[in-house]
Amino acid sequence: MNQVKIGKFILKLRTEKGLTQAELADKLGVTDRAVSNWENGRRMPDISFLPSLCDILDISMSELLKGERLPSEDKESGYKEILLNTLDNNKKNKRKIIGLFTILMICIFSFLTLFIIQYKSQFPKIDIYSLMIQDAEASLNKVLDYQDSQVYFYGVDGVSVCNSKEECFGLKNALMNSQIEMEQMKKYLDSQYSLGNLSRYILWDGGTTMYQNERYAAIFCHTVDGNNDIYFGIPSMEKDLDGGYCGHEKSRIKRFVRTFHIISMEESNEEPEFMNVTLRDYKNKVETISLNKSNLLVVGKDYEMTFSTFQTFEDTTLNIFQNSTLLETKETEEQINEPIVVNLEGQTEVDNISMQVVDGTLSPTGMKLLITDYNEDKYVYGQDYYIEKKVKGEWIPLEEKNPHLINDIAYGVDKNYKLVLDVNWEYVYGKLASGTYRIVKTIFLDKDRPIDENYLFKTISMEFQIE
């Protein structure tokens, strides 16, 4: 069956009948575009239209399918055979198409299978057995954006993760090719801590975890400001960075060293990883503190302890261990008692509570205020506050341009005894000019009590300087 020949035959007969494409289409109930496609040999009429089309053009089915006039004796014969042959050819063509499609899908599947096998061979999943560090100049370099974190190297050219077969892979490429997840790395470091192969410290800033041994150091940030950056470097990394990591500015309080004499130690009933250690400081004052078992101490000996902190506090043994991170302990015969910068003026009138500005947030219109409270959920904090300015040595309350807009929600500190509040005073006081100010906040007793004037307890305050 010749589709082009049939199309020309339909065109000739339509013209002889004096019909336009639109008129023929209207008679058949199709579009004139369909008729045009038939006549140009692009399409064949649907089999359901063939009887009506033959009637309109005054031809037999055999003549239509042959595409030419036939003798009278042949007009009514042969068309069934033609249709059957056409259908049979269509089936054969469909089988060919299906066969070709099947072959194509098999080829694609085979290619993907080979690609996956090759990829897994080149980038296998890694079960971390050890870490390798390649030392370099002591500089801090960002090497990778990873999920919601940034990965930094300090003092190293690279970090490699190795499996039990001693096959090693660069950490950067391993993360980029999904050979490991960073959480897997953290679990490995935690396991090494459990085995006693490295030390682990958790900072007060929201839960930042630091790992260190004689070969390398790692910092996994988890701050109250949402910083989740990750650092790998040489063992002295934390000391060299001086607090300038995890989004913090360099510490205003440098690390300090103290010597303590160990009087006694006993197991902690509440925390299996900790010991209750009774010690004596350089002033011969005795305190009992909770200390991680990873600090290997012997009763009766003196130890040089190195601390790091991000805040100021009163210089007592209890405050040192509550507000600082113990970085290193080593046996000594020396008495080392480096000073801590102490500045409590105007900070608080309540024991064990302090306020400070989150680094880098102070502006003439507001700040982020970090409250530290070690009173075991005794107090809560609302949004109310007022600001005073120091004028000729006296504190003068600022005049309010607009009334305070506050809600009655009370906030408690988190598990690390910290609370960060956003304070924006532009609506109430406008932009502050240069000078010395202090913010005064009221604290409330007991989380479960309603917040009203009958439960006002005390105030805490903190000085700050607008340049």
User: In this predicted model, what pLDDT tens digit does every residue of 288-327 receive, in sequence order?
Assistant: 998 888 788 999 999 999 887 766 667 888 888 877 778 7
pLDDT band of residue 130 (cuts 50, 70, 90) is confident
1-32 burial code (b ≥16 CB/10 A, e <16):
eeeeebbebbbebbeeeebebeebbeebebee
Please give the model's pTM, rounded to 2 decimal places: 0.40
**61 lies in the same domain as 138:** no
Give the closest residue to 440 by CA, choosing from 391, 382, 365: 382
Q: Is 341 a domain residue? A: no
Share of the chain above pLDDT 90, in %: 19
Which CATH number is 266's domain given? 2.40.50
234 and 135: one domain?
yes
Torsion of the alpha carbons at 110, 113, 119 and 121, rounded to the nearest 10:
-110
Find the CATH number of the domain harbouring 409: 2.60.40
Domain-located, residue 92: no
Please give the residue that has the higher pLDDT: either 423 or 72: 423
Does residue 344 form part of some domain?
no
Three-state secondary structure call for residue 393: coil
Quick count: other Cβ atoms within 10 Å of Cβ 45? 19
Per-residue confidence band for 345, with pLDDT thresholds at 50, 70 and 90: very low
Q: Which of 227, 242, 253 is nearest to 311 (CA)?
A: 253
Whether residue 282 sits in one domain with residue 180: no
Instruction: Look at residues 185, 217, 241 and tell me which one is the last residue of a structural domain.
Output: 241
- Single-letter residue type at 360: G
Average pLDDT over residues 348-374: 83
Q: Is position 208 within any domain?
A: yes
| CA gap 439, 423 in Å, rounded | 10
Same domain, 184 and 140: yes
Domain final residue, candidates 53, 77, 101: 77
Which domain does 384 fall in, by range? 353-466
Q: Are residues 371 and 450 in the same domain?
A: yes
Answer yes or no: is 248 within a domain. no
- Which CA distances in Å does 127 have to 150, 167, 173, 179, 253? 23, 10, 15, 9, 40
Instruction: Report helix, strand or coil for 417.
Output: coil
Domain count for the chain? 4
Q: Are residues 457 and 379 in the same domain?
A: yes
**Are 236 and 277 found together in one domain?**
no
State the Cα–Cα distance between residues 20 and 42, nearest whole angstrom: 19
Is residue 99 in some structural domain? Answer: no
Tokens of 340: 């801590």
